[in-house]
């Protein structure tokens, strides 16, 4: 009886904490997009950059103008193509939400055109067409899987921001699952994420079937649960994807129980390239998730970087970086501007010319020698991208060594994100 009473008290306490957090969290997101955020705008602006985002979704379609997808679930994949422009005034790490009324492409991110695709064949045709527009060696795909409490429009604009800031030629694909975008719907979102595992597996297989030279995946928060589970399913199915074309798997602020992650890794086995895990020990959203999970640490806030390295991960610790959101849960998006430097760092690590531990602009990298061990599996990509990577600014020492290398001269994370 005492145990049951304790459990009930914890659940009541968690609900009260969630209710208390809902106010400040939503207040901190006052700039969230409105109900017409995806209304297409015909006007253009000089200097605006345009991007094509391909979408695969387990959300239900929403008939309301400017919404496109709701937070409800659907049993089958839905597809879309969205053309978005980024204003010439864009600041790295930021999303310039469309203003209510008439969005201005000179100052706002705006949708230029958005259309549903009804079949896998139409989605695949769009993807192949986008890949064909790129030169050999650049025909890669970047899949983004968003997290909890995320509207479709928020996920779409976040991927657009990362695409613009990174300057990556990869084709951006958004996998969006049925999050209701409400703080109090944590359990609903968690169940939606679990229900979306098969749909993400389908999406990953479609992307590989498109002929992409390399497929990279970035998951955020609860989206990591969907992603790791989908990869686990692919592994145990006996019909694996072409591992030589599997690029980086980046787990940003993962909302996964550390013990669960360890068990997932045992089933997955060692991937061709190590998982890149982005952590921040001051992530308040994950602290809340930790609380309602019975004080079990979440992977994205885990304080033992060395433990994760022993599991075979490369750890990117952003604890010392000032976040753009009050909950320090979205720091991963600030790394997009650093993409050229990161590519150079990875190249040097693969060739054995990089220290295992590095610090750049307050961001700590641990376990880079894991990339060196995976170099054989990525030799083709190393040769294909070497000219680009070596032309990137040198941000760290080129000599390998056991001690940390610190480069405080590189100001790669702007918009006030590095503490004074």
**Count of Cβ atoms closer than 10 Å to residue 208 Cβ:** 17
Position 183 pLDDT exceeds 80? yes
**Residue with structure tokens 């694996």?**
240
* pLDDT tens, position by position, 135-172: 999 999 999 999 999 999 999 999 999 999 999 999 99
* pLDDT tens, position by position, 342-391: 777 777 877 777 778 888 888 999 988 887 766 654 444 444 444 433 33
* pLDDT tens, position by position, 40-95: 999 999 999 999 999 999 999 999 988 999 999 999 999 999 999 999 999 999 99
Average pLDDT, the chain: 82
Cα 241 to Cα 231: distance, rounded to the nearest angstrom? 10
What average pLDDT does the segment 281-285 reach? 88
* pLDDT tens, position by position, 17-52: 444 444 334 333 446 888 889 999 999 999 999 999
What contacts 295, CB < 8 A, 6 or more positions away? none
- Burial grade of 1 (CB within 10 A; 0-12, 13-18, 19 or more): exposed
Among the listed ranges 112-126, 162-176, 266-280, which one has the minimum average pLDDT value? Answer: 266-280
**Count of Cβ atoms closer than 10 Å to residue 63 Cβ:** 8
Rounded to an integer, what is the distance from CA 319 to the centroid of its chain?
18
Give the model's pLDDT for residue 347.
76
- Domains along the chain with CATH numbers: 2-335+363-374 (3.40.50)
Quick check: pTM over 0.85? no
Give the model's pLDDT for residue 272.
72
Cα 284 to Cα 78: distance, rounded to the nearest angstrom? 33
What contacts 239, CB < 8 A, 6 or more positions away? none
DSSP 299: G
Helix (H, G, I), strand (E, B) or coil at 416: coil
């Amino acid at each position: 009886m005492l145990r049951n009473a304790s459990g009930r008290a914890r659940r009541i306490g968690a609900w009260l904490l969630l209710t208390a957090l809902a106010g400040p969290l939503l207040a901190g997101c006052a700039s969230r997009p409105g109900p017409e955020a995806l209304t297409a705008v015909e006007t253009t602006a000089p200097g605006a950059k345009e991007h094509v985002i391909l979408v695969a979704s387990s959300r239900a379609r929403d008939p309301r103008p400017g919404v496109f997808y709701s937070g409800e679930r659907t049993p089958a994949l839905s597809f879309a193509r969205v053309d978005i422009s980024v204003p010439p005034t864009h600041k790295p790490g930021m999303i310039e939400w469309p203003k209510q009324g008439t969005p201005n492409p000179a100052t706002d991110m705006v949708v230029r055109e958005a259309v549903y695709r009804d079949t896998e064949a139409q989605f695949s045709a769009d993807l192949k067409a986008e890949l064909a527009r790129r030169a050999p060696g650049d025909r890669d795909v970047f899949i983004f899987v968003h997290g909890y409490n995320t509207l479709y429009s928020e996920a779409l604009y976040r991927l657009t921001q990362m695409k613009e800031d990174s300057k990556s030629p990869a084709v951006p694909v958004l996998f969006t699952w049925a999050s209701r975008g409400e703080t109090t719907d944590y359990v609903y979102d968690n169940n939606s994420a679990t229900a979306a595992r098969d749909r993400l597996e389908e999406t990953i297989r479609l992307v590989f079937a498109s002929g992409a030279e390399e497929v990279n995946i970035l998951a955020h928060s609860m989206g990591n649960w969907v992603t790791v589970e989908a990869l686990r399913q692919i592994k145990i199915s006996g019909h694996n994807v072409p591992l030589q074309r599997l690029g980086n798997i980046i787990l940003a602020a993962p909302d996964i129980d550390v013990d669960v992650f360890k068990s997932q890794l045992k089933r997955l086995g060692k991937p061709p390239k190590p998982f890149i895990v982005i952590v921040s020990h001051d992530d308040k959203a994950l602290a809340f998730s930790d609380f309602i999970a019975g004080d079990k640490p979440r992977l994205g806030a885990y304080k033992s970087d060395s433990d994760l390295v022993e599991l075979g991960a490369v750890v990117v610790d952003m604890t010392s970086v000032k976040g753009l959101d009050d909950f320090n849960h979205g720091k991963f998006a600030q790394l997009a501007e650093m993409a050229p430097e990161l590519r150079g760092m990875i190249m040097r690590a693969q060739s054995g010319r990089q220290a295992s531990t590095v610090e750049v602009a307050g961001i700590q990298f641990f376990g880079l020698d894991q990339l060196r061990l995976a170099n054989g599996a990525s030799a083709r990509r190393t040769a294909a991208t070497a000219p680009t990577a070596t032309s990137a600014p040198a941000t760290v020492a080129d000599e390998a060594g056991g001690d940390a290398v610190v480069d405080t001269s590189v100001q790669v994370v702007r918009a006030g994100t590095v503490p004074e």
